[in-house]
Structures are given as structure tokens and as C-alpha cells.
Amino acid sequence: MADTIRVLLADDHAVVRRGLRLFLDLQPDIAVVGEAADGAEALEQAAELHPDVVVMDLSMPGLGGIEATERLRAESPRARVLVLSSFSGEDSVLPALRAGALGYLTKDSSPEEVSAAIRSVSRDEPMLCAAATRRLLDGFAGRGRPHGTVTVAFTDIENSSGLLESLGDERAREVFRNHDELVRAELGEHDGVEVEQEGDAFMLAFAGARSAVQCAIGIQRRLQAAGDPVRVRIGLNTGDVISEDDRYFGRTVFVASRVAGAAAGGQILAAEPTRLLAEAGGAPFLDRGSQRLKGLKGDHRLFEVLWQ
């Protein structure tokens, strides 16, 4: 059995680990030698079990997959990392590869693709799924920011200071980091661009209103599925922007920020121009009527995106 590939599974979902193990145990050249529920446990198991390949999830509580991959390279250099993640955005793929991962698959890959990738990385041969390759190429191509008519989105965490007080520094840091990774992953799925981040707030830009709305829906759904105590409010507006250096200016941007300020946690609000452009794509909207927005004259009609 000298040629058997020793595999360690690192994923915080026991069902995922169990499903992988059931299939991999049927492979004559692969042996699952251990399981880990987070990055710290993966490091401990790797030091004890000396796996050839670690199949690593990225989003795990405590020590995440990217940090664990970086440390594995130093602490267990023999182990090769194959990422198996729900995310395929360039903000997940590129950091994972920079951290030292030799392969990257998404969780919709077939069991046969996973076993083939394990064999490849065990031979020091890189293996990327099609989605990861596409995102990697997008990153090298340097997809630029949209100009002219742009849909701008602002997101921020409701009561982030209260979360910090209730959770404590370490847990809050973990929750906020998971939030950042999740927002960036969803952004990559919808060809959006991160304009800037300040604290827990993001300013995002999209060439189309439909992709902006779908990204906002995706963010809320991923946050809900993650189960973290984070509620994010999102505001959208579409119009012409002034682009200067790496920043956007103008009324479109200002209105988008005020729309976000009018939203509650877990809510997506859109100004009327965004609703008119995106509604034809099938996104459901609820008319919330005319509202006053701080610092702006007159009433502004707002629409809630029904994402649940």
C-alpha cells in the first residue's frame, strides 16, 4: 500500500465530510486518515497523521481555510492542499492559491472530479475547476470598474458596535471576517467591483442593475445560510457617476448611500431607477412608498427587493 494517498478532510459540515469519505473509501489508491471541523483542528491532525493531501474548505469557524493553508505550508510542508469550496470568486480563488493551495474545486464538482484532483495534487500537479480557472483569468485580466451609467450598492452591518460588545473581540473579528469573505465571493459571482471598504461597510459597483440586484440577493441568502449573527442592510441606485482615480462621485453615489441608510438589517432597498431596470429581469419588488432621505430634497420612492 505504499502508493496509497493519505487524505485529511477539513470541513465544518459533518455531512460533507461523511459524503466525501463514503466515496473516497471506495477508491483503492486513496485512504481517508482523518477529519477536521476547522482550520486549527486540521493543523493538529496534519501534524499527527502526515497526510499527503488535505481537502480544505475555506469558510470554517475559528481558523479559516486560507489561514490554515498558509500555516500548513510552514508546519506540514509535505501536505498538499486541495480547496473544496462553495465560493469561486476571484477573492476566494486568488487568496487560496497565494496561500499555497495546489488545487481548487467548487462543491458542485462530482465525486470523480474530487478523486481525480486528489491524485493530481498528490503528484504536485495543479488542478483547477472551470469556475476557478475563469476567475483566475479574470483576475489577471484586471477587470476594470464600470463607467458612465453604473448601479452603485452600499452595504453595512446593522449594529456592528453592539455585536462587538456582545460577542467580544475575537468572536466578532471572526464573524466580520466571514462577512467580508462572503460579500466578496458573491461580488465575484456577479461581475461586480469593490470600489472601497470602510470598516464593515462596502461600496460596490455594477455595469448592470440586474446583476447588482442578484448580487444583493445572493449576499443576504448566503448570510442567512451561514447562520452568523449578522444582519446587513443594502441600498442600490442607478445613474451616471463621476469617476476620478479609484473613486466614484456624484448624486447617484450619494443617493445610494442614503437608500442604504434607510434600510433595516436583512433588507435590500432600491431607488426607482434601479427598480425600473432590474424588474424586467424578474426580480420581485415591493413598493415602500415615498420617503425623505437625509440631506436630499424632496421625496424619493423606494422599493424593497423580496429575496426570502
pLDDT tier for residue 281 given thresholds of 50, 70 and 90: low
Spatial contact of 179 and 200, defined as CB atoms under 8 Å apart = yes
From the CA atom positions of the chain, what is the Rg in Å? 22
Higher-scoring residue by pLDDT: 137, 58: 58
pLDDT tens sequence across 167-226:
888 888 888 888 998 899 888 888 888 888 888 899 999 988 999 999 999 999 999 988
Supply the pTM of this predicted model. Answer: 0.56
CB-based burial of residue 20 (10 Å sphere; 0-12 exposed, 13-18 middle, 19+ buried)?
buried
Where would I find the beta strands (DSSP E) of 67-186? 80-85, 103-106, 127-128, 149-157
For the chain, list the domains and their CATH numbers: 5-140 (3.40.50.2300), 149-305 (3.30.70.1230)
pLDDT tier for residue 1 given thresholds of 50, 70 and 90: very low
Say how far apart CA 61 and CA 65 lie, in whole Å.
Answer: 9
pLDDT tens sequence across 108-163:
899 999 999 999 999 999 999 887 776 666 555 555 677 788 999 999 999 888 88
Say how far apart CA 163 and CA 85 lie, in whole Å.
Answer: 27
Mean per-residue pLDDT of the chain: 89
pLDDT at 301: 93
Residue-level length of the chain: 308
Q: What are the C-alpha distances in Å from 302 to residues 117, 257, 278, 291? A: 48, 13, 14, 7
Higher-scoring residue by pLDDT: 64, 52: 52
b vs e for 147-164, b when ≥16 Cβ sit within 10 Å of the residue's Cβ?
Answer: eeebbbbbbbbbebeebb
Say how far apart CA 218 and CA 189 lie, in whole Å.
Answer: 9
pLDDT tier for residue 246 given thresholds of 50, 70 and 90: low
pLDDT tier for residue 296 given thresholds of 50, 70 and 90: confident
Say how far apart CA 129 and CA 93 lie, in whole Å.
Answer: 11
